[in-house]
Structure 1
């Protein structure tokens, strides 16, 4: 069994002592527990030099309660062990706010105070960086000197607004002077997506090292920095994108990397979203038409390239055929949606089983679409060859433009093919089955229908892409367990059972706060009566002099309660949707700083990741237990699958999920060791239902006041 070497222990201990001394911190027991857990997990990698070890997987899942100081607790041991093992450290977060905190505050502080010498860099996707080649072609188009074809029909406006052109000119000037690095987040003024996306490139559109602007490419400059840094800070989505590309395409290779997933409870859902497939029928039809016209216009140039005449010749008919097939499958989908009811926005197929005629149509489209993809790949390869051929040097600009356009076509085509393959698949061979559904969008177009397919558990995805490949992984957050167990997370994520699991208790004194479940005559199942009671009770429960956060699970209930309150209370309330989240928090803090009371009305996004310490939040009111809305097709498909096995989906999914969300919501109260206050839960089901005791017991040990 692997153990930490004395030298490794000393290095970690010395760095931890140095940082606590430098920052005047008192060493925390929970923090030291977490340091030991991370170090011992990564020490399992050491025996791989001499042979296999049966001590377990080098994967740790650590629930670190609020106030643990988990950033220091994972950075210091992971840095030391990464250096010993000659691995790169990748820290991935779920939110931009935490990434910025790591890069601009936490890592500089640790570097300055710990005695550890390391470099770090923030990694972002291609779409966060300006593409000079795209900008050149866009400006040429505006001056009448070229054409630009977007990846999506609506991606590039027919004519750019004057202020967009002025912004592009300023960007070019700033790049030329060296005052800007091409990173959208570092640009001095806000820029809308409609103006930004046309001057960026995705993987398919990027010509890579052949690009004439490669020396000045913002993305490649940033990427080259990733290969040199000891620590790469990024987000969950970019890690998943890199893994989907085979690993090592953007970030260091998984086999050479130690991953830390902060806010790690989000990773399974992020993986589901990332590997899901979808197709918007109206935009797909438009894209097929636009692509056919574009290739017809480019035929004089493209057919002159070796071997491409035979590739292009049948493509016009192939596009027409696919347009007809997509039109027909859209009509089939519309009939199915109509059968579901005029007011139904989505139709989920039970057991993931698509009706036979729709499955047959998807199979036929997938077959034809594969032919389209094959021809686009051949076309792209021919353009690549021509760009390497000195004989076409005079046409280089045009060839590069087409290389980017065809690369974009291929990326779009691969996404659509994935969806139709998923709809053509035999669901009876899947265990668990995938969720497949149609969604009708409120557009004027006749076929405003989207096709969707998703795994219902991320376990297989993450096992194949991450757990079996990464050198080591640490996942941590304040809410990795549900009902006091890691079972929920393990089932969704597929983390091996022989991984290490640890709960590090928060150092906060929860007896400084009270959990209040007031007497109520109604339950949330009777929504009108429950809403009326909230309207009646909130003015008595809230203190007009305090900072309060009222959390709702339903936007309708939030608005109904707001509308039903007296005017003097409405004037104190900052309601979600009236302003941005950041603006609401800013105004709330400003009001409290002025010595007045303030109340925030928010939904799920305010129940997690919101930091309002001290007087900013002395009272959290939770309108009802946060059971998931039952219209999520992935959750519904998972529940259906469990029920088919004779299991209780409500107890296995709904109750643990609600318990976890309740812990997150109540966690908005105590943010520092000196905070006090109360949590009020306006839902008596924690007392009247048999699952209520388990949910109550999963909450921090607040003092309790019932009635």
Structure 2
């Protein structure tokens, strides 16, 4: 269109950067020339320099975009007709956006011309934090010291707070390793709250563990907030599966019919919700098993969004609105990366997570972000996940039919023959899935997992061909769905059931796409394709078909470190031998960045006098003498625990060794009045509470207990690390990443395996000293710490403390002497 058709029409590049115009044009092209909605952020000159595509195909999605709106941003969409004059709906949308201070632009499909429907509110210039004043609040005589009588000023905490304030002020990345006792949460919360309040900007704080998430929300943030005149609005956000979906609950109740009594879990959940329940599973006053909750929880794949009859009272929407109004948002890494993943896919508003837009991020427990991102960015397909999609469409129960297609089957346009053919098509998909799973089970033999590495004749026959057949069955089904939807009258095609059917079809097409890549896995070198065995809640074996990015560093670099204005990454364990190089390389932070600061804040605790690191160099080698090592550990653990009189956490790398040691130690320890606890006996938080409350008790645990256990005082006087925590070398993703390092001329063991084990080892050692008055012994029953060429790297990565090498008799004497001193 010509520029002078309307006075509000301008050259697009007068309001949008060249790269934004190109990105819009590409997004519109990818949508087949249909409507695309994006939210843009303005640079200092008022030009849109970044956008995020948030919805496609329908203006119906726009009212759900509030969680994306940031004051001063712009809602941009195209008119495929090329006529840029706003419609009545456009004006309504612009008014809705304007209530948030958000502008509204309309562009043509080439992103060449732009209609200004409403100008965005111009944001005021950023209000810089007073770095010196903030640091003083944590110092002797500061505001926090006056508020908290037992507050102990720590120079390392003061320094970290000043550095966090600086990166908030000037932008960039701060990598902050804060040793035990630094008080890193206060060091970042003080500037985070100051920044959020002074600049009306959200700050997102993400943790790896629920324990820290709850501690921040319930304890630390209220304490730090007490020194501010105005309390910040803080929201704890969980993944949507933690919240009840009213529509799914009603469907589950309807499906069960008259068989349900009032005391059934479904009816009790409904009564709780009707009485004003929050919808949060954690707030339920009674326990609900995972299978039941899985039927009624909110899921992106089952969300009807604006077409849901319960939308106005949707628990997820309530949380989303609360988050949109919050200044401090506390999340976990899984939710953070789920949000990033949905935004990267631009899957549409119904597929998005709960988080609103943000520019300032604090990643606590940042040592875990590679694993969290790897898990989240892994695409999976299993028999159960596929059956779940199919049951959303069509399922029999007794004499009845349920699912979205069952709701549409009453349409006169669908003959009984058409419905029977559709049901047959579903059965074909189920049969193809069963065939693929059986072939996979046969290919794996006794192995728990297997990576598709080379396309041998056996792999091609047993996996690739069945995957191709399943892909074709799914595509035939989704074509049938499209054909059926085409025949529906307009009124029926707009019903929620039709919308849900389209959504399931889209999800099935994504499964077909995954199968296509599985079939041609050798053509996708940047993805690790692997299969693993698992068991259902009913102990029924099945197989996962997984596709994992070979590296997540490029994804994190683009989606986090290049995109956000300020990012603080902190943990007690980011360095190996005093260097951040390994961790930064794995998560996508370029060392040469000018806006990068990497700092180590040393622990104020007196490790040199209060901690001993003991190692048995005479222990059998865990790899070369496996049988002897397995026989040695249970007896060695018992001797150490008798010497310490309990009061210990024993950490393992395998459940088998944990079980053998527990059974060996339990009778002898209980005869001495020492309680024995083991992982799996009870829920984690209750197990840790029992351990803390019983001073002489011993806790036997593995993997997840290497971190996040906080038991100050005499309760945890000894940590036994039975083995250096190397990952299993034949784990498919680790194996693929190691081969990539070797192919590039590196040493995978020294560049991946050793650094990963050191960071985990530091976490395990870190359970020992949790308070300045704590004393304790860390015992390592792995001779490699003392005898291998890399053992010194483990020792040098720990705080300086007394090192005692010796056989079990020497270690027993040292434990008694040190703990009884």
TM-score, with length taken from structure 1: 0.83
- Residue 604 of structure 1, aligned match among 703, 721, 742: 703
Deviation at 1:98?
1.4
More strand by share: 2
Deviation at 1:669?
0.6
- Residue 220 of structure 1, aligned match among 314, 317, 320: 317
Alignment of 1:105-144 (within 5 A): 105-115=219-229, 117-143=231-257
Task: Find the aligned partners of 2:693 and 2:532 in 1 and give their Cα distance.
Answer: 42
Shift in alpha-carbon separation, 1:111–1:381, aligned structure 2, 3 A: farther
Shift in alpha-carbon separation, 1:112–1:161, aligned structure 2, 3 A: same
For the pair shown, the structure with the greater C-alpha radius of gyration is: 2
* Structure 1 unmatched runs, 5+: 46-57, 145-157, 390-398
Deviation at 1:482?
2.6
Alignment RMSD (CA, Å): 3.7
Task: Find the aligned partners of 1:556 and 1:565 in 2 and give their Cα distance.
Answer: 14
Aligned match of 1:54 = none
Aligned match of 2:669 = 569
Aligned match of 2:516 = 421
Alignment of 1:387-398 (within 5 A): none
Aligned match of 1:435 = 528
Secondary structure in structure 2 of the residue aligned to 1:450: strand
Deviation at 1:15?
5.2
- Mapped contact 1:435–1:456 kept (Cα < 8 A): yes
Task: Find the aligned partners of 1:286 and 1:202 in 2 and give their Cα distance.
Answer: 12
- Mapped contact 1:352–1:427 kept (Cα < 8 A): yes
Q: Deviations over 1:201-229 (max 9, x none)?
A: 31232222343323322221221111111
Alignment of 1:76-95 (within 5 A): 76-95=190-209
Deviation at 1:461?
2.3
- Residue 682 of structure 1, aligned match among 781, 799, 821: 781
1:197 aligns with 2:294: yes
Alignment of 1:294-693 (within 5 A): 302=408, 315=422, 318-319=425-426, 321-330=428-437, 332-337=439-444, 342-350=445-453, 355-357=459-461, 358-359=463-464, 361-363=466-468, 365-366=470-471, 369-370=474-475, 372-373=477-478, 386=491, 399-400=495-496, 403-404=499-500, 406=501, 409-410=504-505, 412-413=507-508, 416-425=511-520, 427-428=522-523, 430=525, 433-441=526-534, 448-497=542-591, 498=593, 499-511=596-608, 512-525=610-623, 526-542=625-641, 543=643, 545-565=645-665, 567-569=667-669, 572=674, 573-592=676-695, 597-693=696-792
Deviation at 1:69?
0.9
Which has the larger displacement, 224-233 or 32-41? 32-41
- Mapped contact 1:458–1:492 kept (Cα < 8 A): yes
- Mapped contact 1:370–1:417 kept (Cα < 8 A): yes
Shift in alpha-carbon separation, 1:98–1:329, aligned structure 2, 3 A: same
- Mapped contact 2:478–2:509 kept (Cα < 8 A): yes
Deviation at 1:619?
1.1
Task: Find the aligned partners of 1:352 and 1:277 in 2 and give their Cα distance.
Answer: 21
- Mapped contact 1:59–1:474 kept (Cα < 8 A): yes
- Mapped contact 1:330–1:447 kept (Cα < 8 A): no
Deviation at 1:284?
3.3
Aligned match of 2:121 = none
- Mapped contact 1:331–1:447 kept (Cα < 8 A): no
- Mapped contact 2:404–2:497 kept (Cα < 8 A): no
TM-score, with length taken from structure 2: 0.72
Which has the larger displacement, 71-80 or 289-298? 289-298
Secondary structure in structure 1 of the residue aligned to 2:272: helix
- Residue 703 of structure 1, aligned match among 782, 802, 819: 802
Deviation at 1:522?
2.2
- Mapped contact 1:277–1:415 kept (Cα < 8 A): no
Q: Deviations over 1:128-180 (max 9, x none)?
A: 22222223333333446xxxxxxxxxxxxx978943144134314412xxxx2
Q: Deviations over 1:388-416 (max 9, x none)?
A: 96xxxxxxxxx445645x36734752552
Shift in alpha-carbon separation, 1:122–1:489, aligned structure 2, 3 A: same
Task: Find the aligned partners of 1:210 and 1:447 in 2 and give their Cα distance.
Answer: 37
Task: Find the aligned partners of 1:93 and 1:471 in 2 and give their Cα distance.
Answer: 19
Deviation at 1:232?
0.9
Shift in alpha-carbon separation, 1:218–1:380, aligned structure 2, 3 A: farther
